[in-house]
Structure 1
Amino acid sequence: MAVESDHRASDSPYVARVWRGRTSGAGTMTSVATSTWELVFWDDEGVVHAAVRGPETAASSAEITGDSESFGITFAHGTSMPHLPIARLVDGGVESPHVTGRTFVLRGEEWEIPRMDDAEQFVQKLVHAGVLTRDPLVDEVVWGGIAKVGTRSVQRRISSATGLTQGAIRQIERAREAALLIGEGVAPLEVVHRLGYYDQPHLARALQRFIGRTATQLRRRDDAADPMSLLYKTENPGRS
Structure 2
Amino acid sequence: MESRPSELPYIERVWRSRSDDGVSRMMSVATSHWELVFWEHQGEVQAAVLGPEAQASQAPVPEEAVFFGISFALGTSMPHIPVSRLVGGNAAIPDVTRRSLWLKGSAWHVPDYDNAEAFVLRMVREGIVDQDPVVPAVLGGATPDVSDRTLQRRFVAATGLTQGAIRQIHRARQAAILIQEGAPAQEVVHRLGYFDQPHLARSLKRYVGRTATQLSTPDTTEPLSLLYKTSPWPSA
Q: TM-score, normalised by structure 2?
A: 0.94
Q: Which amino acid letter does the alignment assign opposite residue 74 of structure 1?
A: S
Find 2:80's aligned residue among 74, 83, 86.
83
Q: Where in structure 2 are the equivalents of 1:102-117 lying within 5 Å?
A: 102-117=99-114
Q: Bigger CA drift: 167-176 or 22-31? A: 22-31
Provide, for residues 183-234 of structure 1, a one-character-per-residue CA deviation record: whole Å limited to 9, x for no partner: 00111001001111111000000000000100011122344x6111111112
Contact preservation (8 Å) 2:176, 2:204: yes
1:179 aligns with 2:183: no
SS of residue matched to 2:49: strand
Cα distance, 1:237–1:105 mapped onto 2, change above 3 Å: farther
SS of residue matched to 1:141: helix
Match of 2:225 in 1: 229
Cα distance, 1:236–1:193 mapped onto 2, change above 3 Å: closer
Cα distance, 1:116–1:237 mapped onto 2, change above 3 Å: farther
Identity of aligned residues (%): 54
SS of residue matched to 1:13: coil
Cα distance, 1:237–1:181 mapped onto 2, change above 3 Å: closer
1:12 aligns with 2:8: yes
1:193 aligns with 2:190: yes
SS of residue matched to 2:19: strand
Match of 1:216 in 2: 213
Q: Where in structure 2 are the equivalents of 1:1-240 lying within 5 Å?
A: 5-25=1-21, 26-223=23-220, 226-235=222-231
Q: Distance in 1 between matches of 2:139 and 2:89?
A: 22
Provide, for residues 117-148 of structure 1, a one-character-per-residue CA deviation record: whole Å limited to 9, x for no partner: 11111100000000011112102213543222
